[in-house]
A and B are shown apart, each in its own frame.
Chain A
Amino acid sequence: MKKYSVINTPVHNIDGIAKITGRAEYTFDVKLPRMLYGKILRSPYPHAKILHIDTSKAENLSGVKAVVTGKDTLGIKQGIWRRFKELCDEEILARSRVRYIGEPVAAVAAIDEDTAEEALDLIEVEYEPLPGVFEPLEAIKEEAPQLHEHAERNINVTRHIEWGDVDEAFQEADHIREDWFRCSSQHHVCMETHNAVASFTPDRKLTVWTSTQSHYYIKVLLSWVLGLRENDVRVISRYTGGGFGSKFELDSAQFCSSLLSMKLFRPVKITLTREEEFMATKRRTPMFYYLRTGVKKDGSFVAKEARVFTEGGAYTAMGATALYLTGFFQAFPYVWPNYRYDGYRVYTNTAPTSAMRGFGAPQATFCAETQIDLIAKDLGIDPIDIRRRNVMYPGYEVPGQATIQSCGLRDCLDKIEKWIKSRGKLPPNRGIGLAAYGFMSGGIFNWFDTPYAFSSSIVQVNIDGKVDLFVGSQDMGQGSNTTMAMICAEELGVCVEDIRIHMGDTDKCPVDLGAWGSRETLMQGNAVKMAAAEAKRQIVEFAAAKLSPNIVYDIDIKDGWIHLIARPERGLSFYDVVKEAIRGKDGQPIIGRGHYTPHRKGMISPAYSFGVQAVEAEVDTETGKITLKNCVTAHDCGQVINPLGVKGQLEGAMAMAAGYGFTEDLPMDEGKILNPNLVDYKVLRATEMPESKVIEVETYEPEGPFGAKEAGEGLTNPTAGALGNAVFHAAGVSIQTLPITPEKVLEALRKKESEKNRKGGKKS
């Protein structure tokens, strides 16, 4: 018999039919009887005191049902880092001061969106503008305006990571490089904008439909800021139109619709416009990176010192995690005997920066991988060779931080080297750049202070053999429902069609922290596997009594057949046994429970994925235009669960990461985003996507379900660096600020040319 019946077979997404026939109901589509529509008034100032708000004219407009301001709230400063009071700094509906353009100051509920919009114009807010500060390196100065009373010099969070003796090690280095990098912001651009339908009923229960990555977090945060008991709040999120890190904190649509509904006892729907989405939801953290790196002549890494100043925006959000992770992943995926990192997250009068796919690691990887190619050139070493000399390996311990169990990096490098060689001699102005990366499989940290297991699951086997699988994980398009159904089917020995999944409803599903930090496959997957194993044990016990085998024989279930492993022909139908087993249990369905919380797994994650990506690009030296030609990734995600899902994740991550590398940016003027629409904000289009090839390097991760680990988020890490390196090899210029635009390439080419002429001039 094959090792697995379900794992590593291409399975259609189990939500597929609903999605391709237009039946999938997103929060965007939810319409309830007596539902009202809400709109949010937002600050036009980056920094101001609110002196007075007059809502009377708006309230008197025909069709307006209610207006709320900060005065109608409990005034709680909330945040997702609940364990740390000073990091809970955001009111969502500001009471006395606004700190970024787009910060909510009032909300209206009316009979339709047009009326609500009209009412916003009638709300009179008297502001006293305050001086603003927009760049972290300015905001950290003593004379800069201070955003929060508790944060001197606007320092929001600091992070220090250190091992070895960095200063002494630099003495032993043969070559030292210092570089500054600037990593830009990026917007998630979920196709479904942030939204919520809140319905508060006279029994004081609140139900909120919302597009989210974590219904559990939203339930807990809403109950806190609204003064309700945790289990009087129900959050429902069946389909989520993209998340990418933007949808697991409490947002203005959720909070304002709830407040309005609590006042009116009617459902209120708020859908953010695309412009609001850009201006006033969170975004990828811009970072200024300083790297000082020492190596031996042969390319061995000796020491690295990293310093980072991040543009925090007005509030903490998930930025504190990004600050830690960028420091940790700056040392990835290599063995650095000596490493020191100091990170400073600085408040600025800009939209808060937070989590986005990769979570600080794409920034770190861009800087690190760009510098490695510069060092390789300085030393005259091949980019593959310098990486091969230094990459992590199975069993390596990152001092004080993590233990690497499975790691297929060397294989990945071999595969990519082979591909590069197969390309032969490239045409002029074309280059191949590469970048190595790693990423986590779910975070170990518990800043949210949950008392629950990180993931839980319940498996119920019914009389007809159909299995109800209850999970707390959130499918936002990444395919976790399918992954969980596959894990359950494999463990229980049935087929995927036998599984009916229940998710996205806090009243019905067990707790899981949600879909962020690439948690679900490993953490929820382990919980599902455990629950399925528990159900299976009960069925196998019953079957054993019927089969009455020699006691030395083991029994297993595969493809619905319960059998002796040594003699597969001796067995019983799963479906028949289940029927009888349930009768034998006095009519009770068979139930298994599972849970997972990482214990003693270091500081960051229980397991890490790895990979190497090569990007082939062409540079037009006349215009600076960069064209992506090819992208090949060798990828170690442990045991692949669903090849169809993994491929989709990897290609999608690559497109988003290429956007970060060369087209996407959020330029600002005094805190105002200048391109808050999909015309001026350039996500990659179909015509710009290169061929993308994925080479799986299979390893077995002992901590993951069936040996699986992260797939998809980590691949946002390498592309900007690989693309920059491709430009470096194609045109001989290294761009150290993102995005790598034609203008920057042209300027660098001109500079290089004039330096060459100057040198040439000196010689003659």
Chain B
Amino acid sequence: MEKQLLHITVNNEYHELYIKPKRLLVEVLRDELGLTGTKRGCNTGACCACTVLVDGAAVKSCSVLAIQADGKEVTTVEGLAEGDKLTPLQRSFLDHGAYQCGFCTSGMLISATALLNENPKPTKEQIKEAIHGNICRCTGYNSIIRAVQAVAKGQYREAG
């Protein structure tokens, strides 16, 4: 199949890439752009390890074609911090031990970031709902929920 031109902005960098139309967004991010922070835990959209922001919305990058993101802005885990300036959520993840093996962490951070962008003061139930799709086999989720709650309560407002 003929390759198509993809115009995509990832973590504020604009790229033009020729790709096969069936390439998934996660494949382009990982294989073409080297952004391996985004993981894959299944191929069926069931674990959300591959979650990225597309125009601000949390999207499973294994379940969309890259070409569907043409002209859009994508944020991956690599795009959260600026240099050594971590986001409040990242700092809260550190303090709360909200990760263990770390393989689901990128997707978890992105899902929670999307939630907080839309609703800076979510309830505990809303936090649970927002990460319902993200499987974490290590933490039992509670430390992640506490980490998001702490940010929602404004505990990480000051720059770290």
Question: Is residue A71 within 8 Å, beta carbon to beta carbon, of the partner chain?
Answer: no
In the complex the two chains form, is A273's CB within 8 Å of B38's CB? no
Which residue on chain A has the smallest CB distance to residue B144?
A686
- Which of A15, A25, A685, A686 is within 8 Å of B36, CB to CB? A25
Assess whether A16 is in contact with B99, with CB atoms less than 8 Å apart. yes
A100 within 8 A of B: no
Interface of chain A residues 193 through 246 with chain B (CB within 8 A): 193, 239-244
Given A21-B86, A28-B40, A691-B142, 10 other A-B residues pairs in contact with their CB atoms under 8 A: A20-B77, A25-B36, A28-B36, A651-B140, A651-B142, A652-B137, A678-B44, A685-B141, A686-B128, A686-B131
- Of the candidates A15, A24, A476, the one having the most CB atoms from chain B within 10 angstroms of its own CB is A24
One digit per residue, 1 when the CB lies within 8 angstroms of any chain B CB and 0 when it does not, for chain A 649-669 equals: 101111110000000000000
Contact yes or no, B42 A242, CB < 8 A: no
B41-A191 in contact (CB<8A)? yes
A189 within 8 A of B: yes
Which residue of chain A is the closest to B142 with respect to CB atoms?
Answer: A651
Instruction: Kindly state whether residue B117 has any CB partner on chain A within 8 Å.
Output: no
* B interface residue numbers (CB < 8 A to A): 30, 35-44, 46-47, 49, 76-78, 80-81, 86, 90, 93-95, 97, 99-106, 109, 127-129, 131-145
Q: Given that A241-B103, A686-B132 are known contacts, is A677 also in contact with B44, CB under 8 Å in the complex?
A: yes
Docked-complex contact A687 and B129, CB < 8 angstroms: yes
**Chain B contacts for A243, CB-based, 8 A:** 101
| Contact in complex: B37, A22 (CB < 8 Å) | yes
Between-chain CB contacts (< 8 Å), 10 pairs: A22-B36, A191-B39, A192-B101, A241-B103, A644-B97, A655-B140, A677-B46, A686-B128, A686-B141, A691-B142
Contact, CB under 8 Å: B137 / A656: yes
Counting from the closest, the 10 A-B pairs by CB-CB distance are A22-B37, A477-B101, A19-B102, A655-B140, A241-B103, A22-B77, A477-B100, A678-B46, A29-B36, A651-B140
Q: Would you call A21 and B81 a contact (CB within 8 A)?
A: yes
Whether A191 pairs with B104 at a CB distance below 8 angstroms is yes
A213 to B103 Cα, complex, angstroms: 15
A476 to B101, CA, bound (A): 6
Count A/B pairs, Cβ under 8 Å: 167
List residues of A whose CB falls within 8 A of some B CB: 12-13, 15-26, 28-29, 188-193, 239-244, 273-274, 476-479, 644-645, 647-649, 651-656, 677-679, 683-687, 689, 691-692
Partner of A20, one of B43, B105, B134: B105
Query: B137 contacts A21, CB within 8 Å?
Result: no
- The answer on a CB contact under 8 Å between A191 and B143 is no
Given A189-B137, A686-B134, A679–B99 Cβ distance below 8 Å?
A: no
The CB with the most chain B CB atoms within 10 A, among A22, A239, A652, A654, is that of A22
* Residue contact A21 to B95, C-beta cutoff 8 Å: no
A639 to B28, CA, bound (A): 48
With a CB–CB cut-off of 8 A, which chain B residues contact A21? 37, 77-78, 80-81, 86, 90
Q: Does A652 contact B139, Cβ atoms closer than 8 Å?
A: yes
Contact of B39 among A192, A648, A651 (CB under 8 A): A192
Q: Are A13 and B90 in contact (CB under 8 A)?
A: no
| Bound-state Cα–Cα, A16 to B86, Å | 12
B105 nearest in chain A by CB position: A19
- The CA of A188 and the CA of B39, in the complex, are separated in Å by 18
Known: A648-B139, A652-B140. A685 touches B132 (CB 8 A): yes
A84 to B30, CA, bound (A): 44
Whether the pair B41, A274 counts as a contact (CB closer than 8 A) is: yes
- Interface-centre pick from B38, B99, B105, B142 (highest chain A CB count, 10 A): B142
Q: CA of A644 to CA of B145 in the docked complex: distance in angstroms?
A: 15
* Cβ-closest chain A residue relative to B127: A686
Asked if A191 meets B101 with Cβ closer than 8 Å, knowing A651-B139, A687-B129, the reply is yes
Least CB distance from A310 to B in Å reads 24
Which of the listed residues A188, A189, A477 has the most CB atoms from chain B within 10 Å of its own CB? A477
Q: Known contacts A476-B101, A652-B138, A683-B135: does B143 contact A22 (CB below 8 Å)?
A: no
Distance, CA A12 to CA B96, complexed state (A): 8
